[in-house]
Amino acid sequence: MKSIKRIRILYWVSLIVFGWIIFIIYEGSGLLKLTAFGVVVILVEIISRREMAQAIKDEKEELEEELEEKRLKGVAD
């Protein structure tokens, strides 16, 4: 669960940081800046979804292992 929260925080931080970088440093018209920011949003979204899927998969595996241990412990008792 911690990794999912971490991914969400990193998602918003990266959007804010890249947004400021684009709007401050990137020279061009407003439409070009918005287009560049849109590309960054899409890339960050793709990366965060992959990371989120992996974190959920890892969390599921951990829960399944804990459940299996509890089952074995219950059978042993």
Q: What is the pLDDT of residues 11-68, one digit of tens each?
A: 888 888 888 888 888 777 888 888 888 888 898 888 888 888 888 898 899 999 999 9
Q: Which amino acid is located at 59 in the chain?
A: E
Show the 3-state SS of 11-59. Answer: HHHHHHHHHHHHHHHCCCCHHHHHHHHHHHHHHHHHHHHHHHHHHHHHH
Given a cut of 70, whether residue 2 has pLDDT beyond it is: no
Given a cut of 90, whether residue 73 has pLDDT beyond it is: no
Report the predicted TM-score, pTM, of the whole model to 2 decimal places.
0.66
DSSP category for residue 8: H
For the chain, which residues make up each domain, given as ranges? Answer: 2-76
Question: 44: closest CA among 52, 54, 55?
Answer: 52
